[in-house]
Amino acid sequence: MAKLLIVDDEVGIRELLSEILRDEGHDIQLAANAAEARAARNAGRPDMVLLDIWMPDTDGITLLKEWSANGQLTMPVVMMSGHGTIDTAVEATRIGAIDYLEKPIALQKLLSAVKRGLQRPVASGIPAPLTLAAFTRSAPLRELKRRIEQIADSSRVLLLRVGGGSLAELAARSLQTGGTPWLDLSAVVAPLDLTQLQASQGGLLFVGELGRLSRAQQKNLAFALERLERYELRLVVATERSHDMLLNDGWDETLLDRLFEVSLAPPSMADIRDDLPELAAQVLLHLVEANEVPLRRFSTAALNHMRTQPWSGGYGELRAAVRSLALATLDEEIGLSEVRRLLAPAGDSASCAISFDQPLREAREAFERMYFEHHLRLESGNMTRLAEKTGLERTHLYRKLKQLGLQAGRRHEEV
């Protein structure tokens, strides 16, 4: 017996399809619109979905795109419409629908489509990374998606001019086509060679902050920039610094001129404060679908509290916080108290107080311990990103953590 979700705004069609498919022995869930469909998909994990295209809140094609973008298109979906077109059917199939049924739906066609869908292999593996396409209800994020796609039509290189609370990685992921390689050049310390570029062919190269690249990594960037066309690569880099600031730091002027040819200033986490609950909820859904965390959901109060946080560490900080909450929370619902407990050390000055009565050396050591504990938590123990964030060479970083009695996260070396 399979669990089927029927999504249609017409009660008569829902009841008719439900009756037919229940007689076939299936367990049926019903949804009258996209909002109900989202909730049912998140809670029930259906084996198959019959999805109407024309609905009052969000159309079925948009919902299908949303599920595909956030890694939730793990079940077969059959689209239904009473006035669709060939173009609509082609688009739905391109996004991931397995079939398209025209209303009124013939009994035999319905049963055949359901049978074919349930015979398909169950989707497995890691879902595609979360992208801007998942946030269909956020006007700033929809606009950002359109802007970067428009730029990508004419340029393989995009520089994101960011500040605190950067969304650079989420924006860059949105230019990575499904299943293609992703290479973070800030994590490549050794000289880059053609073998690495060939392995990344058709993919995306990324740098989260230009100002943190070493001289050797700057050479890697220049090497890759000259070969983007040859290996069908895209390059997205981000920086808080201006062209002149980087030039004063010793960067090659020709390289900077190339990087700054096409730039965009995306919104920060502060700019999309009202959309933070949706962003956090989608991040959690994606982590659940990737089997990185157990099945969890946020309470409304928890999401509202997350909206009030500064998130100066940007999208990476939010994702790390959501992952930590999902792993540590004992109940299925992540409540307000859990969020407050996790976020208090970073935002509550009273919890980070250092006694001024102790010697300078001990006070400095206490501060350094709290500083590295904070960033180890944000980066989930990833030493590559920790070295980048703190500006320390790896050898010096390991030595410093050992001096402070902190555990180096060697098992998290993957980027």
- What domains are there in the chain, each with its CATH number? 3-119 (3.40.50.2300), 132-264 (3.40.50.300), 273-351 (1.10.8.60), 354-415 (1.10.10.60)
Residues 6+ apart with CB under 8 A from 103: 13, 80, 81, 82
pLDDT interval class at 409 (50, 70, 90) = low
**Which residues are registered as beta bridge partners of 204?**
182, 234
pLDDT at 310: 86
- Compute the half-sphere exposure of residue 405: CA atoms within 13 Å on the CB side of its CA: 4
pLDDT, tens digit (0-9, with 9 covering 90-100), for 178-233: 778 999 999 998 999 999 999 999 999 999 999 999 999 999 999 999 999 999 99
**pLDDT confidence tier of residue 371, bands split at 50, 70 and 90:** confident
- Supply the pLDDT for residue 266: 95
Q: What is the pLDDT of residues 277-301, one digit of tens each?
A: 999 999 998 888 888 899 899 999 9
DSSP 334-363: E-HHHHHHHHHHHH-GGGG---TTS-HHHH
Residue 279's pLDDT is what? Answer: 94
pLDDT at residue 414, as a whole number: 39
| Mean pLDDT within 50-69 | 88
User: What is the mean pLDDT of the segment spanning 390-396?
Assistant: 85
Q: What average pLDDT does the segment 66-81 reach?
A: 86
- Average pLDDT score over residue span 325-338: 92
For the stretch 230-274, pLDDT in tens is 999 999 999 999 999 999 999 999 999 999 999 999 999 999 999
**DSSP conformation class of 190:** S
pLDDT score of 347: 42
State how far the Cα of 235 lies from the Cα of 227, in Å rounded to an integer.
11
CB of 95 closer than 8 Å to CB of 66 = no
CB burial readout 129-158, b (16+ within 10 A) else e? bbbbbbbbebebbeebbeebeebbeeebbb
Q: Which residue, among 271, 267, 272, 296, has the nearest Cα to 283 in the 3D structure?
A: 296
User: What element of type H or E holds 79?
Assistant: strand 77-81
Instruction: Give residue 123's pLDDT.
Output: 55
Give the rounded percent of residues in the chain with a pLDDT score beyond 90. Answer: 58
> What is residue 411's predicted lDDT score, i.e. its pLDDT?
40
Mean pLDDT, the chain, rounded, equals 87
Q: Write the burial class of residue 42 (CB in 10 Å: 0-12 exposed, 13-18 middle, 19+ buried).
A: middle
pLDDT at residue 413 in the model: 43
How high is the pLDDT of residue 126?
61
Confidence of residue 84 (pLDDT cuts 50, 70, 90): low
Confidence of residue 351 (pLDDT cuts 50, 70, 90): very low
Please indicate whether residue 318 or residue 124 has the higher confidence score (pLDDT): 318
Residue 16 pLDDT greater than 90, yes or no = yes
Non-local CB neighbours of 121 within 8 Å, separated by 6+ positions: none
Q: Is 402 exposed, middle or buried (0-12, 13-18, 19+ CB in 10 A)?
A: exposed
Residues paired with residue 31 on neighbouring β-strands, in sequence order: 7
User: pLDDT digit string (tens) for 134-176?
Assistant: 888 899 999 999 999 999 999 999 999 998 889 999 999 999 8
Indicate the SS3 state at residue 319. helix
Residue 98 has pLDDT above 70, yes or no: yes
Kindly state the tokens that stand for 317.
């900080």
pLDDT at 346 > cutoff 60: no
